Structure formats: structure tokens, C-alpha cells
Amino acid sequence: MNANSPFNRSTDGDERVRRVLILGGGTAGWMAALALRRFLPAVEVTVAHSSEVPTIGVGEATTASLPPFLHDDLALDRGEFYRQVTPSWKLGIRFLWGGAGETANAQHEFPYPFQSTLECPDAFARTNAFYTFDDRASGSLFSELMRRHRAPVVRMPDGRLHLEEAFGYHFDTTTLNVHLQRVAADRGVRIVDAKFTEVVPDELGRGVAAVRLEDGRVLDADLFFDSSGFASLLIGRALGEPFVSFADSLFNDRAVVGTWSRDDDIWPYTTAETMDSGWCWRIDLPKRVSRGYVFSSAFASDEEAEAELRRKNPLITGPVRFVPFRSGRYERTWVKNVVAVGNASGFVEPLESTGLHMAMETIVAVCRSLIDTDRRIVPAMCDVVNCFLGEMWEDVRAFLAVHFRFNRRADTSYWRHCREATHLAAAEPLVEFYRRVGPTQIGHTFLPRQSVFGYRGYLTLLAGQQVETDFCYAMSPGETEVWRQHIARVSAVADASFPVGEALRLVAEGKAAPNGTAS
């Protein structure tokens, strides 16, 4: 590498990354710190954050990829995690959404793993997404557990307790961050608690030289992670990276959030309910329920949204909070010696809980890149990482757009606008193909290899929303019998499951584990 390269950070001629500064804590920042310490142990890691800056903390849900990342990649002990963070499980999403001809009480489920392409050996000539069912979701174990409000902890025939680990998490973000910060400190991450004031730019155009804090300290590094949330202090404000808006696909830009203390069963899934000007989540935590109305300010005022939320959720009696946001991403995630992670890199409509997933993908991609380049910031590698993450962001945008284009449950001005004006972006050719030839497996060629939800996710969504296709079939008598036997087997497993509260206690005590070998 040329000695005058803008990526040559060190004064002694060694351009390897030796010090990383993460600006901002938050879940994304702490996950980045833990990943760097685990996979690049020679790198010194500092997190500069202010404990005076509050966490958004509305109750977080994740994809099914987060638990393996936390426990396998970051090596967070499961028992300690369950004891300290007190999460609950997300087996999928229950959509109070709506397709053509459905009644007011219609719903469909989006469980993990996705059920629309489950295959029963010797059962069907095609994958089951081609068939019409009286009860489409009943072929999935997690659907059965969702319907019964049961946990993914099952007593096996030999008496062992098995944790069926294909779920996402629900957790309180503030509680999670306290735990991650404690682990980070134990693993040698330097933590500086002070407010940010300004960026010290690099005079040679290499990006950021240092950040100045309110107490006068100046912290420099070879590589910076921008984990400053929606403010995007480094990637957006300091480096001026262009922002790519998703406003033509995703119209919501605000959320109003309320909670109540729980005294009933813990629901092991996220609910997504159609509202007049958007939709409403329900996230169940062990001690409280989080309810958030995500809406478009072009169709409802704050007062109207709050009134609808309270009218449909009378258990919310305390104050509510409003959270403004914009859907989109920065054009590049890695610019010179700055990597944006979490909300600092982009944010989309929270319908499918992709926020922490994209943070995870960013962290993994950057760590792998630094390992392969011997901790050097190589422009060609930055370009590849940016292309990879950019395609993934666009895939998330397209997947979410499908939700809004085909929800026919409500006939309000907002939903008419969604059905008429939602730009499907990258999903347009896939949806057109589906409508012409049905859920054939060859349709996966329309998706990028790194699609977050994959072709199975798209098929589950399209089938659940009853998007019209000419290729649907009725079961033959033989297929019907094999399907009945499959459902009976799934139901038997679900019958051996535990109530959610009891199962959470068993995992926290180390009595249930993914391999069924817990004591």
C-alpha cells in the first residue's frame, strides 16, 4: 500500500487497525464491541457513550438470526442471559392483516421457520405452498405453539428438555444494554462515559481523526464505528454521506408507544394488527406488554393516532411516547475509516424486526473483512461490503413493501393509498412471476443470495396474504391422509411443550438447552 494512502492510519508505517472507537452505546454499539473483542483480540476497543442519553427502549423484537449470533458468535452464556435480560420468545408474527374475501377476524401466521415450503417426504408432488388448506399454518410446529401460547421447550421421549432454537427474542432494550455493557467491560472493552461534542476531521482526507468529548478529552482511533443512532454523527453529519429514502415504498414515519403490566399468559410471538393509518405491534415481555402504533403523519395526527391506540387498547392508562423516524439508508455503510452500524446506518419500517439483524450483518461483514485483510482498511473490500449491505437493505425494503401493497383488511384512505401507490422495488419481478406461475421453487432466482428472509419467507408472506395466483391445487385423497398424519405428529410435539413462563425459568436455571443435554 502506498505510504501516502488515505487509509494509512499509523505514524510508524503500519497501516493495520490497532484501535477502534465506537461512538455511542446502544445495542448495536455493544454488539460491535463484543464482536471485535472476540474475533479481533489484538484490537483495542473503546466505546464512548453518554449514560445521560436515553435509550429508545420501546420493547425490541428480533429475527431468528439474533439468538445464534448472541450465544454462539458472541459467546453470551444462555443461562446468564435469561437471568439478567429476562427475554421472552418470538416464534414468529401473527398478522391481523387481511386478504381477499377474509372476514374481520381473519389472520395468518408467519412462524419461524417459514412453513409455506415445508416438505413432507412422499407427501405432495409440489411444495405445500401450491395447495389450498382449510388451515394453512397448521403444518408448522411454531404455528401450533403460537396458537397454544406455549414455549419452544419440549419434553423429549427420554425425559430430557429440548429448546427448539429457531426463534427470535423479545426483550427490554435498556435491560439488554446494561447486560451487554457489563460483559463488554469484563472482556476488556474500554468504556468512556461522556457526551460527544465534535468530530476532528483528518487533514489528509482519511475520514475521521478523532472525536472530542464534552469533558475535553479527544479520542483518536484507526477505525470508527458510528453507533450514534438516528443522529448519524459520523457517517451522516461529519462525512456527509447521501441518504437513500424508502419513502415511496414505506409511508410510515412515526410511532406512538404505550405499555401495561401483564397478569396473563405471555404470548410467544409478535402481533401485527391493521390500524386505520398504519399498524400496531404487540410485544410480550415477562412483566409488561409493549403496544406501538406505527403510522403515517400524512394520514393521521399525533392526537388521532394516540386516540385510536388507546381506544383499541384500554389497558394503556399511563403516558405514551412518540418516536419519529425516516425509512431509508445511507448510500454506503463503510466510508473511509468510518463504519455506520445500527440506526446510524439506516432504519426501515419496524414491521419485521430487521433493525438488529442489519446491525449484526454489518458487524459480521466488517469483522470478516478485517480478518481477511490482516486488519487493513482496503478500499476494494469496503466497496464489496457496501454492495453486500446495500443489496440487503434493498431486499428488506422490498419485502416490507409486499406487506403493505397486499393488505386488504381495511378500506381507509391510508390503506387505499398503500394498495395503489406502494413501490415494490426489487420485489416487483418476483411478485409478477408468482402471480403468473405460482410458488415454484425456481422463483428464488429473483432474490439476492443474501436475502434476509429468503424465498421461503416471500412465499409464506404471499400465500398468507392470499395474493392471487392461477396455480393452486386441491389435495388428492392420498395427499390429504399424509398431511393429516403430519399435522398429528406436529401436534404431538406441541402437546409436550411448556407454558412460556415456566419454560423461561427452566432455561435460566440451565435445565433446558438446544441439544437437550441440560441437567
What amino acid positions are annotated as catalytic residues?
90
Q: What is the DSSP letter of 475?
A: P
Element (H, E) at 414: helix 413-421
**338-340 and 223-226 strand pairing:** parallel
Side chain identity at 276, as an amino acid letter?
D
Place of cell 440487503: 392
Three-state DSSP class for residue 346? strand
Quick one: angle between helices 173-186 and 78-85, nearest 10?
130
Return the number of other C-beta atoms located less than 10 Å from residue 18's C-beta.
16
Give dist(CA 86, CA 287) in Å, integer.
Answer: 9
Give dist(CA 96, CA 407) in Å, integer.
Answer: 10
Return the number of other C-beta atoms located less than 10 Å from residue 32's C-beta.
29
Kindly report the three-state secondary structure assignment for every residue of 226-260.
ECCHHHCHHHHHHCCCCEEECCCCCCCCEEEEEEE
Element (H, E) at 174: helix 173-186
Give dist(CA 81, CA 440) in Å, integer.
Answer: 41
For 487, residues 6+ apart whose C-beta sits below 8 A from its C-beta are 138, 139
Evaluated on CA atoms 217, 222, 227, 228, the torsion sign reads positive
Place of cell 461512538: 23
Give dist(CA 27, CA 176) in Å, integer.
Answer: 7
Q: What is the DSSP letter of 317?
A: -
Length of the chain in residues, anyone? 519
Please name which of 396, 367, 483 lies closest in space to residue 121, comparing C-alpha atoms: 483
In order, the DSSP letters of 176-224 are HHHHHHHHHHHTT-EEEE--EEEEEE-TTSSSEEEEEETTS-EEE-SEE
Please name which of 71, 353, 384, 21 lies closest in space to residue 210, comparing C-alpha atoms: 21
